Every structure is written in C-alpha cells, then in structure tokens.
Amino acid sequence: MIIDWKAIAGIMGVLLGALGVALVVPALVGLLYGEPEWWAFAATAAGSGIVGGGLWLAFRPKEELRVREGFAIVALAWFVLSLVGALPWTMTGVLDSYADAFFEVMSGFTTTGATILGGATTPQIEAVPNAFLFWRSLTHWLGGMGIIVLTIAVLPLLGVGGMQLFKAEVPGPSADKLTPRVSETAKRLWAIYVALTAIQVILLLPAMSFFDAVNHAMATLATGGFSTENGSVGQYGSAYVDWVVTVFMVLAGMNFVLHYRLLHKDWSATNNEELKVYFAFLGGATLLLTLVLWTPTGDVLPAPVTLDGEVVTQDVVDQTVGAAQAEADAAAEGADLEEVETESADRVGGENIGGGAQEAAELASREERGRTVVRYDSFWDSLRYAAFQAAAIITTTGFGTADYEVWPPLALVVLFALFFVGGMAGSTGGGVKVVRVLLILKNSFRELRQLVHPQAILPIRLDHRVVPEGILRNVLSFIVFYVGLIGLGTLLMGILGLDIWSAFSATFSCVGNVGPAFGAMGPTENYTHVPTAGKWILSVLMMAGRLEIFTVLLLFTPGFWKR
Amino acid sequence: MIIDWKAIAGIMGVLLGALGVALVVPALVGLLYGEPEWWAFAATAAGSGIVGGGLWLAFRPKEELRVREGFAIVALAWFVLSLVGALPWTMTGVLDSYADAFFEVMSGFTTTGATILGGATTPQIEAVPNAFLFWRSLTHWLGGMGIIVLTIAVLPLLGVGGMQLFKAEVPGPSADKLTPRVSETAKRLWAIYVALTAIQVILLLPAMSFFDAVNHAMATLATGGFSTENGSVGQYGSAYVDWVVTVFMVLAGMNFVLHYRLLHKDWSATNNEELKVYFAFLGGATLLLTLVLWTPTGDVLPAPVTLDGEVVTQDVVDQTVGAAQAEADAAAEGADLEEVETESADRVGGENIGGGAQEAAELASREERGRTVVRYDSFWDSLRYAAFQAAAIITTTGFGTADYEVWPPLALVVLFALFFVGGMAGSTGGGVKVVRVLLILKNSFRELRQLVHPQAILPIRLDHRVVPEGILRNVLSFIVFYVGLIGLGTLLMGILGLDIWSAFSATFSCVGNVGPAFGAMGPTENYTHVPTAGKWILSVLMMAGRLEIFTVLLLFTPGFWKR
Ligand SMILES: [K+]
Ligand SMILES: [K+]
C-alpha cells in the first residue's frame, strides 16, 4: 500500500487554486492604494491558480481519500502554501531574504503572528505597503479557517492526540473516510467565523480606519496577532479598542461548535467542562494579574518602577517601546549607543510624558527594562491591561498593549503558564488546548487516588462520559511530544547561538503559536536577528504545533512512506 | 480504616534512633579537630536517640506495615530527620536562620547539594567548622542509602510512577507488604555503596587530605554535590581528581542492583536497555560538549572569550569564580562595587594568571560573565571539563569544575537537557530517571506507528519483556507531575519575586535534586538570597523530587488520611 501521490497532488491542486483566489485580494488592495507592488500578488495568484488547476485536472482523485493521504495533505498544505505565499515578499524586494518571507507567511498561516518585520535588516511595519499588511492578516484569517475544519472535522478521523473526543459532538462525518459531510460542517462553522469577523470590524470602526479594523479583526478571530502597527493594539491607546479586541480574542479561543450550538439556542452547550475551565483560567489569570499590576500609591508593593526617583506609569513605557526596539536592533548591528539614544529620542519626540530624550532612551535600553518593574496606579487600567494580556496569551493571539517583560515577576510567571494552556479545542487558538490540560489534571488526581486504592477501577469522565483509556494515553503522549518538541527546538536554537532563555521561550512561543516570547524575542522585539537556519526551524515548529504535532512528526517516520 | 499513627510513630522512632547514632560521628569529628561546636551534635544525638527509643518502645508495630503507612513514613522520614538534623546549625549559631539550616540539611538528605553557605548572610564554606562540613556530607551519604532501599525495595511495592518494573529484578520481597526481605536486599546493596565509597576515598588520597577525600567520596556516591571547598571539585585544579570523581559519579548514577549482579559475575546484567541509554546519553553529551568547548586556535568558533583583546582560558576564569561569588553577594547587599573589586582581587591574589586585580574583577562581575563565552584550547582539557560536567549533571551530582554559565549557548542547552534525564532507576541519582525517558521515547514512536496502523496492537518492550499499559500510563503521568511540579514551583518562586529564568531553573534543579541551576542560582552562586518562604518551598520540592513526587503529593490528598 504505497502512498497515493496522485490523490495528494490532486488535492494540493485544489488548495493552490484556492490560494490563487485568495491572492487576488491583496492584489486588489494594492491597486486600491495605488501601490506598484500589486503585480506581485496578481502574478503569484495567476501562477498558483494555473498550477493548481492543472494538478486538479490531472490528478483529481476518483475515490475517497484514505487516512494516510489525509495526513500528508494536511502537513503539505501548510508548507507548500507558505512557500508560494512568500513569493510576493521577495519578488518585490519588500523583503530581501526568502527565509524571512517564508517565516512571515508560515507565521501567518499557522496564526502564530511572530514577525521578522521592524528589525535591523527588514522594513518597519509602517513602511510596508498596505497590500502586504493585508496579506499578512489574510494568511492569519485563512489559517484560522483551515484550523477550524482541521480540528473539528479532519483530525478526529485521523486519531490525533485525543481529538477523537470531539467526533461525537460535531454535526459532521462519522465514517473513517473523509466524506463530503466534512465540507458541510466546515461551511457552518466558517459562516460563524466570517460573521464574528464582520461584527468586530464594525465595532472597531469608531476607533480606527476601515483598513486597520479589517486587519485587526482578521488577526483576532484567527488568534493570529499580526498588527498593522509596530506597537500592536497598544498603538491606539484606546481602552475601547482594548476591550473590543479582548472580547473577540476570548470568542476566538472558544470551540466554534459551541458558537454554532449557542446560535441555535442550544443552551445546554454551556454545560461543558472545557468551557468552564477556559473561563476559570481566563478569570483567574486576569484577577491575579490585575492585583499584581495595581499599586494605588505606587509604593505599596515591593520594587515599584522608578526612574530618577519618580514612579513611572505605563504611558511613559508605552512610548519608549518603539525607541527600545530601534535601540535593540541598532545594538544588534553594533551601532554606536550614543547615536541610538538621540535617534530613539527623536522618534518618541514631544509626546514623551515627564521626561527628556535621555530619560526615555535610558528606560528603553534592554538592560534597564530588565531591571525595571512597571505597575499601574489605576485599578481600571490594571484590569484593562491584565484582561487584554491574559486573553492575548491564553488564546495565543499574542497581541500586545503593554511590554509585559517590565511587569512584576509574578505577572510574567502567570503569563508563561498561560503560554502552555492555549485555547479550547476546536477554536483557532494554539497551545496544548484547555481540554488536554483538564484531562491531564483529572488523570493526575486519578493516579493519586489509585495509589491509595490499588484495586479500584477509577474511570475518568468528561462531561459525564467516560474517557477511553486509549484516548487518555493519546493525550498524555501529546503532552510528552509537546514538551519534547520544545526541548528539541531549544537545543537547535542553542546550537545556533541564541541564549538559552530566549531560545527556550521563543521555541515555546512558536510551538504554541503564540508569537511574542521573552528575552531577545520579547513583546517589543522581533525575530529578525534569528539566524536563517533558525527561521526555518521555527517555521517548522510553528507548523508542527499548529497541526497537533503528530501530523507533522508522522511524515518524518520512515514507516509512513513505506507500507 | 484510619491511618495507623502508632505504627508510623514506632518506625519514626527507629529512624530517629538511627539519626542519633549518625549524629555521634560529626560530634567525634568536632572533638577530633578540637572544635567547640561538637557538643551541639552530641546533644542532638542524645535527644534524637532518647525520643526515638521512647517512640519505638511505646509504639513498636506488632504487625507488618500496610502500604498506606509505608507512604506516610517515607515522606515523614525525610521531613522529620531534616527538622532534627538542622538543629546543630542554629544551636551553635553557625547559621542564624533555621530556614537556612533546614534547607541545607534537606538539601543534604535529598542528595540535592544546593547550598545556602557562602552567601551574604551565611559563612563561607572555608569558615565552617569541620564537624558541620562532615555533617553535610554525611546527610548526603545517608540520604543516598535511603534512596537505594527506597527505589529498589520499597517504592515498587507502593506502585509509584512505574517503579513496579523493578520488582522482578530485585532479589527481594514479592509480597505486597513490607517484609523482612527488604532489609536483606538493602544490606547487600549498602555493602556495595560502602565499598565504592571506600575505594574512592583511597583513590582521592594522593590529591587531597583524608578529611576532604572522605567528604567528597560520600558526596559523590550519593550524587549529592556538597563540597568542602567553595570552588567545589574545581578548587583542586587537578585532572586526576576530576577524572576519579567523574568515574565515581558515573558509577553512582548506575542501578546498584547492576553493581550487585556484576560483582557476582552475572555478565548478562550488562544486557540492559536502560544501561545502554545511560551511557549513550553520557557519551553523546560528553562528545558534544567537548567539541563545543574545544577551540584549537581560540578564534575558529564564533565569539571566543576575550578580555582586553586576549583570549581567556579556563584557568583565569576558574580563579575568578570565588571572586565572582563574593562580588555577587556583596552586590546583593548593595555594597560598593569598588570595595568588592579590591576584596576579590585580594582573594585571587598572586595566583591570577595573566592579569591584574581589576581584570579579574572585571571578568568576575555577573554582567560580564553573562556576555563572556569560555572555550578551551586543549582537546584534553575540553574532554576533561566536558566529561566531568556531563556526568555531574546527568547523575544530578552537581559538582563543578567550571562555571558552565560562561560556556557557549549550545553547551548550556545540552546541560539543561541532562538536568531532566537524571540517573538510572535504582541509583542515587535524581531527575526523571533514564528508564522513564526511554519508555517515553518508545511510547512516542509507538504512538506515531499507531496513527499509521490504527488497528494494530503494538506492545512496548523493555529488555524483551512487554511493559504493561498501566505502568506506561504511570510513567507518562509521572512526567506530567514532574513538569507540573516545576511549573507550580516556578509560579511560587515568581510570587516571591525571583526573575523567571532563575525561578524556573532553580525549581527544575531542586525537583531533579541536581543542586546548581542558572541565573541567580548558577554554578558560582548559592541559594542564600532566596526569601525564607522560598527556602521552605524549595526544600519541599527537593523532597518531592527525591521521593518520586507521588509519595509526597499523596499526603496532600484528603482521601489519603480519611479512609
Ligand atoms: K498568535
Ligand atoms: K545533587
């Protein structure tokens, strides 16, 4: 039973054709804004469409797909579409390096949102043509659509990492072949996805341009995190925007089947353990972060942020984030620090509250930020930043309204824990998924009880149904794979010379499709300075994380291809 | 079926009596060296012996112990003996803080070797009376004895984390009660332990005093890591010492049942998968580290270490380690840096190769070390330091001959990976144990194969025997607990204000009973500056890690005590 390459080629043809259609949109955006780069999207669209159509006509599969080909297509789809989707970036010279372009597009399709823009060798986000900014957001949005159909309708059939649990819940296929009912399920859920995106666009319109609203809405629903601004969502400095995005990140991190059922007034859908735990994590983290960040008098908690003896508020820090980035990039190039300070001061300019150029540059320097701790003197500000960042991390969207690396240590630890959890299964969020964390916790308690009652049979239940032991082992194995993959990635990034904390947190972030990390890839940094080989490795890690690991690892096992 | 407190009290009496006997030895050491503090050991010995004897006489269990009481005794033993063993430290005022003393003794009994000595508020190791140095080593050695009997003869009966696997291999008990045959097994293995310690003492004698040799041998066989020198084993600057210690660390990281079988000429014992993987990890890590550390010309690899334009060799760095520690401690107290530089320069003194006082202090400062990368220009030096550190970390001994934090990033990542692996099951080493890592890897490959062959039954074999699925789930759950405990510990240490990387690596190190960590608890630092609450938390984490987690966690479940 050799793998059926023709069937794979046929389906890849469909996907390339779809990519061709998608690429027309950024071409139109470019035309609309009078950007000369629009041709690159048009040319790639035409090429992708023609090749895809040809493959489809030549290799159109006559029978239903088998499981083995299903696996190959899933992984190949993300890889090949990213290879093609990267072309416009380098064709136009907006990016010089194809590795950069591939990283950016894979980061888009996997809804990771890690960016190489804004670095020393890449353009600042504000200098990138709108067609490209839109293409980044569109890769997120399409990636999110792909993930919804994948996790709800495809992966359960393939038996990946406990995803079988969701088979029964979905108004979809029940056979072990990929049937036409998959597309029926997908369409229903996509309709919700599109509707939620549209509603968010409308809600964002009062506070930003139509272009920005569309881009941010697409990035939100996909839990992607690319922004059209260097300062991410924080750039708007609007509590209204922050709260709208927070709410829609939370919605995007929910199982879309739940949205479907709630829309059809099936209120029993809320009687769902994973949902309750998701909100418990969100609420708990928000509460904890709020309390940690809030310091009414500025000196109640230990080590409040001070600069030249004055307590520094978030506003000051917000405005030095850009300066910090420029400085870090310049430092990476070995530029003279004196020069950078002047430059960053110029960029921050007159907006800088309560400080001169040197003060801003001082706070901005990475060493300084490493020692600085920021808190807020208003409860509502604390809540706003806490809720936003908790939602941004647990849903793995990765948007930023604050440089969390200057938050108190406890806040960092809470955020880091959320890196692991991720969204609900069946959402567009990454991470290990709330349901797996829940099952692990249940299994842990069971193991302890088992020690006291060695003879007892203690089944694990989820939503009142017994979870088969095989699925439980799947879930435990998934966690081991997940942790192992992070270990391997850290090792590889270490080989490439990254410091261990940056290597570890960046790998963690990419496998979990979060985006920002800590250290050299912190929330105000980017991935530009990662060596080329590291960009390819992180790209594959993003893909592996996004496709529930098994799907990608399987392709690297010889047995998969042989028999 | 209420827990049988009387039986527990009776057994604790025996253990307290044994502790009383053990405490006589440091009392004698104190007398021998004419140290006035000997009385504290004598007094504690008497108290412990009297209370222990009384408990035994009053509550001597008439029946065989049940599993439940076995669990309670295991965890209580480490906790209570540490509480008592800490008394001489504070009775004599050698340490001011009981939390410090408890941490140090728990670190000893758990063979962790994390120390609070040499900090800003604690005496330097060289200033500590010999009786106390000996007591530290003795806690290691006794802890190692406890672990051997525990993992080979007790935990398998209790069904902890896959330890059942070893039931069959041990010439010991087969019933599900703790029978007298346990003590027979223990005695045989202890004889090997004592013999290996004696051999190492003899081998070390040409290079150090009898006192130092005994202490280092005890710390080696227990994979403990306490040293009588501030600079650990590196202080002797002897390749001979390094290699002797390396070999005995490797022996200590092996299953003592294997030693027993090999001693009885049962050569089939070498046909053991865990053993092969243990040496594969050791050999692979040593090779990798050697290649990474070795730079023949000093500038072949990127970023060789330079100081004022000259390549720095390990010798220079070795001698500034002490200075670095003094400086870091002083910095923690906010002392004037100028003063420290002079002080540390004085300590390094004339031995300093190729540099004046300021140069040494410069290299020694933590910031500088953070950016400095050390390599060796001799292959044999590279091999020596690589083999030592690989063995020290994988066996979780934690001795140091080099400040690995100034090694190249890849070396750090390799060491960090070894933090996780640990020694073989049935050794005195910590970590998750090689056999568990092996089973996880086998399970991972199985899961991938299962995806391709969903209907196939794919049993996992270890040494040609099928591993029951229940044990496999035990092992997977153990890993989840292990990772979860590190996460929880990091969270708690973050709450106490430690930076996230130090909090994470220190927790990792304590749960794995390694000792040194990274960052603020790196190989040249100590745990003195951890807040008091943190010392208690880390103490419990050391205990939990040492006792295979389940044993300790179980005591925190309400069900354990109720029925
Ligand atoms: K993301
Ligand atoms: K140790």
Residue B323: its pLDDT value, please?
47
- How many angstroms separate the Cα of A470 from the Cα of each of A49, B274, B473? 42, 26, 10
Phi, psi (rounded to 5 degrees) for A461: -115, 145
CB pairs under 8 A between A and B: 157
Ligand 2 center to residue B112 CA distance, Å? 4
Q: Which residue has the tokens 């290990």?
A: A432
- Structure confidence by residue, pLDDT tens digits, A394-434: 999 988 887 777 787 788 888 888 888 899 988 999 999 99
- Structure confidence by residue, pLDDT tens digits, B380-417: 888 999 999 999 999 999 888 877 777 877 788 888 88
- Structure confidence by residue, pLDDT tens digits, B34-75: 999 899 999 999 999 999 999 998 888 777 777 778 888 888
Residue B327: its pLDDT value, please?
47
Distance CA A205, CA A199 (A): 10
* Partner residue facing A449 (CB), from B302, B490, B559: B559
Whether the per-residue pLDDT at A332 is higher than 60: the answer is no
A187-195 contacts at long range (C-beta below 8 A, 24 or more positions apart): A188/A260, A189/A148, A189/A149, A189/A152, A189/A256, A189/A257, A189/A259, A189/A260, A190/A145, A190/A148, A190/A149, A192/A256, A192/A259, A192/A260, A192/A263, A193/A144, A193/A145, A193/A148, A193/A221, A193/A256, A193/A428
Whether the per-residue pLDDT at A182 is higher than 70: the answer is no
- Structure confidence by residue, pLDDT tens digits, A253-282: 998 888 988 888 888 888 889 999 999 999
Residue B260: its pLDDT value, please?
86
Residue B289 has which token pair?
């580290």
Distance CA B451, CA A161 (A): 10
Q: Which residues on chain A are in Cβ contact (under 8 Å) with B503?
A: 409, 413
ipTM greater than 0.85? no
Contact A117, A235 (CB under 8 A): no
CB contact under 8 A, B452 and A303: no
Q: What share of chain B is helix, strand, coil (3-state, %, to 5)?
A: 65, 0, 30
Residue A450: its pLDDT value, please?
79
* Partner residue facing B554 (CB), from A412, A451, A501: A451
- In this structure, the number of other CB atoms found within 10 A of the CB of residue A264 comes to 11
Whether the per-residue pLDDT at A341 is higher than 60: the answer is no
Q: For the residues A275-295, what does the mean pLDDT come to? A: 90
Residue A168: its pLDDT value, please?
37
Lowest mean pLDDT among B54-68, B353-367, B455-469: B353-367
* Partner residue facing A409 (CB), from B481, B487, B497: B497
Whether the per-residue pLDDT at A303 is higher than 50: the answer is no
Neighbouring residues of the ion ligand 2, judged by CB less than 5 Å: B 112-113, 225, 396, 398, 515
Phi, psi (rounded to 5 degrees) for B430: -100, -140
Residue B1: its pLDDT value, please?
56
Give per-residue burial for B52-87: e unless 16+ CB within 10 Å, then b: beebbeebebeeebbebbbbbbbbbbbbbbbebbbb
- Structure confidence by residue, pLDDT tens digits, B486-541: 988 988 888 888 888 888 889 999 999 998 887 777 777 788 888 999 999 999 99
Neighbouring residues of the ion ligand 1, judged by CB less than 5 Å: A 112-113, 225, 396, 398, 515
Distance from CA of B28 to the nearest CA of A (A): 43
Distance CA A273, CA A460 (A): 13
Is B523 in a helix, a strand, or coil? Answer: coil
Q: For the residues B313-320, what does the mean pLDDT come to? A: 45
Q: Residue A251: how many CA atoms within 13 Å on its side-chain side?
A: 22
- Structure confidence by residue, pLDDT tens digits, B222-244: 999 998 888 888 888 888 999 99
Mutation target among B413, B453, B460 for the A interface, most CBs of A within 10 A: B413
Q: Which residues on chain A are in Cβ contact (under 8 Å) with B302?
A: 497
pLDDT bin (cut points 50, 70, 90) of residue A300 is very low
Distance CA B266, CA A388 (A): 64
- Structure confidence by residue, pLDDT tens digits, A464-487: 888 888 788 888 888 888 988 998
Query: Alpha-carbon Rg of chain B, whole angstroms?
Result: 23
Whether the per-residue pLDDT at A88 is higher than 80: the answer is yes
* Partner residue facing B477 (CB), from A444, A550, A557: A444
* Greater pLDDT, A367 or A61: A61
- Structure confidence by residue, pLDDT tens digits, A21-51: 999 999 999 999 999 989 999 999 999 999 9
- Structure confidence by residue, pLDDT tens digits, B268-293: 888 889 999 999 999 999 999 888 88
Residue B304: its pLDDT value, please?
38
Q: Do the bridges between strand A461-462 and strand A465-466 make them parallel or antiparallel, or are there none, so unpaired?
A: antiparallel
pLDDT bin (cut points 50, 70, 90) of residue B563 is low
CA B249 to chain centre: 11
Residue B345: its pLDDT value, please?
33
Ligand 1 center to residue B348 CA distance, Å? 51
CB contact under 8 A, A473 and B476: yes
- Structure confidence by residue, pLDDT tens digits, B155-204: 766 666 566 555 434 333 333 334 456 667 778 888 999 999 999 999 99
Whether the per-residue pLDDT at A68 is higher than 60: the answer is yes
Residue A167: its pLDDT value, please?
46
Residue A334: its pLDDT value, please?
44
Residue A243 has which token pair?
């709260």
CB contact under 8 A, A557 and B445: yes
Whether the per-residue pLDDT at B355 is higher than 50: the answer is no
Residue A563: its pLDDT value, please?
53
Q: What is the amino acid identity at position B361? A: A
Whether the per-residue pLDDT at A309 is higher than 50: the answer is no
Q: For the residues B137-148, what does the mean pLDDT come to? A: 93
The DSSP line for A476-535 is: HHHHHHHHHHHHHHHHHHHHTT--HHHHHHHHHHHHTT----SGGGSTT--STTS-HHHH
Q: Could you write out the three-class secondary structure of A371-383?
A: HCCCCECCHHHHH
Residue B411: its pLDDT value, please?
83
Residue A54: its pLDDT value, please?
92
Ligand 2 center to residue B113 CA distance, Å? 5
Distance CA A256, CA A427 (A): 6
Contact B224, B144 (CB under 8 A): yes
* Greater pLDDT, A219 or A59: A219
Residue B189: its pLDDT value, please?
86
pLDDT bin (cut points 50, 70, 90) of residue A372 is low
